[in-house]
Chain A
């Protein structure tokens, strides 16, 4: 399985620290986009690729554990774990990649390029971690859309809706 090119978790982790230095959480981050430009209408909750049915599992959260280190005024930016999983007991098709993810809440839409972070214990799937998102309130509901590219060049849009933003301590 070809992995999505990582933009660098190092930068993402640093962004956690950098984000933490911002005392006033911006309402708009650079990744927020016009919802009309997001291909929600093209997306399905399950897509068929290479004879496999593929679905999404999403966990979204913001972290409020007390910190030492750089100033963080109101919890971490949104983090989202996006697991692209084969619904059959076999690996994802070779060459499957994801290049964009959109996360929508009542407050806006955040678009980002995911980093693939292999997580032990996730057979037949890949996990994308989104970091540095908006500081949307916890318990809000979000929709998530992933753009997939297959080895033969086709594009699929996979989505999951009405997921809760959790919080950790």
Chain B
């Protein structure tokens, strides 16, 4: 079949005849700096009246965390950065950036709402979930075997730093600590966002969808989710992410949240890969301070490695954040090709995953929709009938994903692999009764991982592909 080509949208443009560079010449960037919010990194030696000095420099201090050494300051003064940077103990001043991500209609393959099972428990957990038959991801990391040993993630708190989270989803209701969830986005609650799909809900479901016989089961079905909203409608800032990290690590410092316990694990299925400018480096400093603060407070921080197929060993000037921020575990993705057709190559590196020994600490199941064609497959859901969808869709990760209601979605990316590892971290923490440091959690994850690829640390798997069973044995 010949695909008809329309170039109407380009008729007014000269058609270049020479091959273009991979970097297109684009229109002048629209400034994303209207907020004039600055992120300040400062040392312990900073004066006690730092807030007052920042005010004298022309700033309005929105938040300051002396222990973390970061502050968020608004200013319209053209020379604020220069003046603030001259204050004793101030190590970095960076203008915050707005981020956006949009939610187009065709975002995901909607698996629909499940009919709803009895909700009754089963002797062997997980296999009474309606969609368990197509949940290759937790099986690929041996989560069911870990569950068989009693691992659930009970009592472990996992903060999902993301957009709005549907705490009322049937597979998450009861798992989400609503009272201690929070939004860093002014004027919105943690469970509010735009669109129908909720990235946060999908991520949270991978971590902790409950063992309830309804839809899917998470890697740590007994864990508690703290929804921490740092994005809205795809828009957020470094400042919101930093604030979210600080909140998850010490929520009791926030008025109205005095009784909230900190998270044990932070999952950030978000990020960027770029070559930082001098100003970017100031923002990275502040982000590093936040992740170090979380580590110091006993929080294991996990982030997605990114989906641009970039070799971070080759591109030494590039960074992927927050995956490469201090004390953060970066997770690459794997996925099968043709699960619906019988494939079992679940640990195959995903086509899109960023990689490189400088970046990747561990691999996890993220899915990969590269199966050619648009054939339709029908798979059995033992005890619940069948499910029909594109064959390639079954190579993606199924999880709750609706902003409202009880929908389930297929999705692929390192956004999906990171929470699988966060779930295993929760199982490890549970096994140790909560008395385990982030360094010990990281070591346990590394030591229990399957050393795939080249022996030792390698580009795609880092220290290995995460293994929930070995992590709790």
The residues of A with any CB-CB pair to B shorter than 8 Å are: 7, 9-24, 26-35, 37, 59, 61, 63-77, 79, 81, 99-100, 104-109, 111-115, 117, 119-121, 129-133, 137-139, 141-143, 161-164, 166-169
Whether, in the assembled complex, B9 has its beta carbon less than 8 Å from a beta carbon of chain A, the answer is yes
Residues of B446-471 at the interface with A, using a CB-CB cut-off of 8 Å, are: 453-454, 458-460
Residues of B10-41 at the interface with A, using a CB-CB cut-off of 8 Å, are: 10, 13, 15-17, 19-27, 29-30, 32
Q: Which residues of A contact B318 (CB under 8 A)?
A: 10, 13
User: Which residue on A lies nearest to B242, using beta carbons?
Assistant: A68
- Among B20, B99, B459, the residue within 8 A (CB) of A66 is B99
B20, B318, B370, most chain A CB atoms within 10 A: B20
Q: Which residues of A contact B272 (CB under 8 A)?
A: 16-17, 20, 67-70
Extra contacts besides A30-B25, A79-B308, A132-B23 (5): CB < 8 Å? A13-B310, A66-B270, A67-B100, A106-B6, A108-B5
A14–B26 CB distance below 8 A: no
Closest 8 CB pairs of A and B: A69-B272, A31-B20, A21-B29, A17-B274, A169-B413, A15-B23, A168-B413, A66-B270
| B410 shortest CB reach to chain A, Å | 10
- Among A9, A17, A33, the residue within 8 A (CB) of B314 is A9
A30–B24 CB distance below 8 A: yes
Whether, in the assembled complex, B155 has its beta carbon less than 8 Å from a beta carbon of chain A, the answer is no
Q: Which residues of B contact A121 (CB under 8 A)?
A: 349, 453, 460
Q: Which residues of A contact B104 (CB under 8 A)?
A: 74-75, 137-138
A35–B7 CB distance below 8 A: yes
Whether, in the assembled complex, B273 has its beta carbon less than 8 Å from a beta carbon of chain A, the answer is yes
B311–A117 CB distance below 8 A: yes
Q: Which residues of B contact A166 (CB under 8 A)?
A: 369-370, 412
Query: Cα distance A76–B99 when bound, in Å?
Result: 12
Q: Which residues of B contact A100 (CB under 8 A)?
A: 19
User: Which residue on A lies nearest to B458, using beta carbons?
Assistant: A120
A68–B352 CB distance below 8 A: no
B10, B321, B416, B459, most chain A CB atoms within 10 A: B10
User: Which residue on B lies nearest to A143, using beta carbons?
Assistant: B3
B13–A28 CB distance below 8 A: yes
Binds A, one of B59-67, B71-79, B231-239: B231-239
Chain B interface residue bracket vs A: 35 or more
B22–A106 CB distance below 8 A: no
A169–B317 CB distance below 8 A: no
Supposing A34-B15, A164-B392, A169-B416 touch, asked if A66 and B234 sit within 8 A by C-beta, the answer is yes
A70–B275 CB distance below 8 A: no
Whether, in the assembled complex, B281 has its beta carbon less than 8 Å from a beta carbon of chain A, the answer is no
Whether, in the assembled complex, B406 has its beta carbon less than 8 Å from a beta carbon of chain A, the answer is no
- Among A104, A107, A113, A168, the residue within 8 A (CB) of B307 is A168
A13–B274 CB distance below 8 A: yes
User: Which residue on A lies nearest to B241, using beta carbons?
Assistant: A68
B17, B369, B412, most chain A CB atoms within 10 A: B369
A9, A11, A24, A77, most chain B CB atoms within 10 A: A9
Query: Cα distance A67–B322 when bound, in Å?
Result: 10
Supposing A37-B17, A104-B5, A167-B107 touch, asked if A69 and B24 sit within 8 A by C-beta, the answer is no
A64–B5 CB distance below 8 A: no
A15–B24 CB distance below 8 A: yes
A10–B102 CB distance below 8 A: no
Contact with A along B94-105 (1 / 0, CB 8 A): 000111111010
A75–B30 CB distance below 8 A: no
Whether, in the assembled complex, B141 has its beta carbon less than 8 Å from a beta carbon of chain A, the answer is no
| A20 shortest CB reach to chain B, Å | 7
A22–B99 CB distance below 8 A: no
A69–B321 CB distance below 8 A: yes
A131–B6 CB distance below 8 A: no
Query: Cα distance A129–B236 when bound, in Å?
Result: 29
Q: Which residues of A contact B236 (CB under 8 A)?
A: 66, 68
B24–A132 CB distance below 8 A: yes
Query: Cα distance A133–B24 when bound, in Å?
Result: 7
A9–B21 CB distance below 8 A: no
Query: Cα distance A162–B4 when bound, in Å?
Result: 12
Whether, in the assembled complex, B45 has its beta carbon less than 8 Å from a beta carbon of chain A, the answer is no
Q: Which residues of B contact A14 (CB under 8 A)?
A: 23, 274-275
Q: Which residues of A contact B255 (CB under 8 A)?
A: none
- Among B19, B308, B411, the residue within 8 A (CB) of A16 is B308
User: Which residue on A lies nearest to B370, using beta carbons?
Assistant: A59
Supposing A37-B17, A104-B3, A111-B16 touch, asked if A169 and B269 sit within 8 A by C-beta, the answer is yes
User: Which residue on A lies nearest to B314, using beta carbons?
Assistant: A9
Supposing A66-B163, A68-B321, A68-B322 touch, asked if A81 and B351 sit within 8 A by C-beta, the answer is yes
B30–A23 CB distance below 8 A: yes
Query: Cα distance A161–B310 when bound, in Å?
Result: 25
A24–B270 CB distance below 8 A: no
Supposing A11-B22, A15-B24 touch, asked if A106 and B32 sit within 8 A by C-beta, the answer is no
Q: Which residues of A contact B412 (CB under 8 A)?
A: 166-169
B26–A71 CB distance below 8 A: no
Contact with A along B347-370 (1 / 0, CB 8 A): 001011001000000000000011
B460–A120 CB distance below 8 A: yes
Q: Which residues of A contact B306 (CB under 8 A)?
A: 63, 65
B21–A113 CB distance below 8 A: yes
Query: Cα distance A69–B416 when bound, in Å?
Result: 20
B24–A65 CB distance below 8 A: no
Residues of B407-432 at the interface with A, using a CB-CB cut-off of 8 Å, are: 411-416
